[in-house]
Structure formats: structure tokens, C-alpha cells
Structure 1
Amino acid sequence: MKKTNILMSSLVVIALLIVGCSDDDDSNCTQDLTGELSNSETAFAHKWVLAEIVSEKEIDLTDDSEDNPNTNLFEQYGACEKDAFYNFNSDRSYTFEQGVTASNCSNKQTSTGTWKLTNNTLLTLVSFCNMRVINIEINTDDTSFFIEDNFNVTDVKGNRINSNITFTYNKVAI
């Protein structure tokens, strides 16, 4: 359960699964992103599947009665937690889904909004009246992008470990 909570918390931050505006406060709501896509945005407009979650520090998330910390957090998760993807569309809309395509997932998550990519390094997401600008790195052949952030992760023993964690998303070929 702890590993599900850790992944969900991390993905919530990354996917902007936050609710911000109430119905009576529409004037403070961040407007959706609009406009034609640049050439780099057109190349980026694809489905991107979560492929890796790597921690700078070794962390044991598995409740398997063994002390086996690992920097590869992705391999410590089940199919539902690993089942995560972004779909960036050419009309500037995006969808983030987690646990939707794997079998028997009880905690399915979906977030929608609009997106913009600036200089191939800043990904702006607008969702639920909130805007988040995320530093990303795209590899040289445009097949993967990486998001790195610092998180407090609770291991299987209840210890809180502060570590930089990198999420890798791979482009799905059309």
C-alpha cells in the first residue's frame, strides 16, 4: 500500500492532479493554452508511456520480508502503478492516465488539460484552473523525455528518504 501511495503522490504532482478553482472564483482560473503548435511541439505531440522511475538513493518499497533497497523504483511497483501515460494532442489538449489499461486496477486516475512546450525544456500544463511549468529533458532522437524532481519517499520500514527521482516517458510509435 505504501508503494502505491508513493507512486500516486509522485504522479499526482507530475500530472497536476490538483483541484484549484471553485465555481465562484472563475476570474482567478488559469486559462487553457491555445494556438498553433510549433515544429518542436508537433514532434512532441504523441502518446508517452512511463518506462522508468529511478531514485538517486536506494529505497526498498517491496514488502517481501527482505532488505533489498534499489534505485529502480519502477521495478518495485505492480502493473497498475506502472500503467501510466501522457497523450499530448495536436489541438493542445492532453490526457494523463494511470491504472486505466492494466487489468483489475482499483485506483484509476485521469487528468486532462492543455499543454505547451517551450525550447524543448519547459513543459507547461494547465489543468483544473492551475498551471504548472515542469523542466523536462528530451533525448537527442526525441524518443524519451525525463522529469526530475525531489521527493520524500517512505520506504517499507516507514523511513522517510529524501531523493531526486527521475521519471522517464517513452514515445509510442504511431
Structure 2
Amino acid sequence: MKKTILLVKSLMLVGVLALSCDNDNGPDCPNALTGELTTTETAFTGNWTLKSIVAEEEVDLTDDDVDNPSTDIYAQSSDCFNDLVYNFGTNRTYTLKQGENATDCNEIEINGTWALNSGTLSLVASCSIESIALDFNDDDTEFSYTTTLRFKDVNDLIIDSDVVFTYEKNIP
């Protein structure tokens, strides 16, 4: 049985989940991102699927009675957790879906607006805005970002580690 990762769920959704407020874009909520897409943004549109999660520090998240810490967080996570897909639309909207393709998952869907400027992805959803510095591979078919997360391993040890999330573009 897989052990739950602390704080990763909110990061997997890039920090735009679970902020409670009205969707009326009141004074405390950021406005939706608007405007025509740049050439770079147009090339960025489409589906991007989570490919890997790698931590700098080894962590044992699997409750399998074996001491087997690893930096490969993706391999230690459930199929439902790893089933994460962004769709960046040409109308500047995005959808993030988790658990849609794996079996017996509680599906999560987040909708918002997006912009990509000088390698920084901005996302507006759930009354919040998040800006993430992306690193692209040479042919722009993968992007990754790094953040620091706190994990609780199978022995209840708290481990802080830099973690790299990598997404791969689904080429039709």
C-alpha cells in the first residue's frame, strides 16, 4: 500500500487548488489572464502529461515492510496520483485533470487561465495566481520545474527536499 506524500498533492496541482473564495473575481481574486497568444504560447498549447517526479533526497514512501528509500517519487506514487494532465487551450484557458485515465481514481479537475512569458508559466484559478519558472528540453517537448517539498516517510520522519516535476507534451 502506498503512503501519502505530504504537501505533494497541492504542489502537483501547482499550488492552485483548495483556495476557498467566490468565483466573482472580487477585490481579493486575480483577474483571468486574457489576450492573444504569442508564437511561443501557441506552440505550448496542447496536452502535457506528468512523466516523472524526482527528489534530491532519498525518501521511502512505500509501506512495503522493506527499507527502500529512493529519489524516484513517481515510482513510489499511485497510478491515480501520477495520472496528471494539463491541457493548455488556444483560448488561454487550461484544465488540469488528475485520475482521469487510471483505474478507480477520485478524479480532480481544475480550470483556469494561463500565460507563458520568458519561460515563466502563470496560472490563474481558484482565486489565486501562481507563477512557475519552467525549464524546457532542446525540442520543447518536455518542461520541468523545481520546488521544495516536505515529505513524511513510512517511519514518520519529515524530509525536506528539492523536487523536479517533468511533463511531456502529447504529440498527436
Residues 151 and 30 (structure 1 numbering): CA distance in 2 closer, same or farther, change over 3 Å?
A: same
- The TM-score, its normalising length taken from structure 2, stands at 0.92
**1:139 CA displacement:** 1.1
Asked whether the equivalents of residues 54 and 71 of structure 1 are also in contact (C-alpha less than 8 Å), the reply is: yes
Change (3 A) 1:24 1:173: closer
Q: Match for 1:132: what amino acid?
A: E
Question: What CA deviation, in whole Å up to 9, does each residue of 1:6-62 have, x standing for no partner?
Answer: 5423314x1511324336871332111111110110110110000000000111110
- Distance in structure 2 (CA, Å) of the matches to 1:24 and 1:7: 28
CA–CA distance in structure 2, aligned partners of residues 136 and 170 of structure 1:
13
Query: Are the counterparts in 1 of residues 7 and 149 from structure 2 also a CA contact under 8 Å?
Result: no
Whole-Å separation in 1 of the counterparts to 2:139 and 2:23:
43
* Corresponding residue for residue 108 of structure 1: 107
Q: Paired residue for 1:9?
A: 10
1:69-84 equivalent positions in 2, closer than 5 A: 69-84=69-84
Work out the number of aligned pairs and report it.
171
Which whole-Å CA distance do the structure 2 matches of 1:135 and 1:15 have between them?
13
Aligned CA distance change for structure 1 residues 52 and 24 (closer, same or farther; 3 Å): closer
Conserved? CA contact 1:152–1:163, under 8 Å: yes
Residue type at the aligned position of 2:148? N
Unaligned runs of at least 5 residues, structure 1: none
CA 1:101–1:109 in 2, change beyond 3 Å: closer, same or farther? Answer: same
Aligned equivalent of 1:136: 134
Secondary structure (helix, strand or coil) at the match of 2:43 reads helix
Paired position in structure 1 for 2:117: 118
CA-atom RMSD in angstroms = 1.7
> Contact conserved, 1:6 with 1:154, CA < 8 A, in 2?
no
CA distance in 1, matches of 2:15, 2:100: 15
| Residue 156 of structure 1: how far off its partner (Å) | 1.1
The answer to which structure has the higher helix fraction is 1
In structure 1, C-alpha distance between the alignment counterparts of 2:53 and 2:96, rounded to whole Å: 16
Comparing 131-140 with 25-34, greater Cα deviation is found at 25-34
For structure 2, which runs of at least 5 residues remain unmatched after alignment? none
1:55-70 correspondence runs (5 A): 55-70=55-70
TM-aligned CA deviation for residue 5 of structure 1: 5.2
Separation in structure 2 between the aligned mates of residue 16 and residue 138 of structure 1, nearest angstrom: 22
Question: Aligned to 2:139, what secondary structure does the other structure show?
Answer: coil
Amino acid at match of 1:10: L
Change (3 A) 1:24 1:124: closer
**Contact 1:54/1:74 (8 A) holds in 2:** yes
Shift of 1:109: 1.2
Report if the CA contact (8 A) 2:147-2:163 is conserved. Answer: yes
Deviation (angstroms), 1:122: 0.5
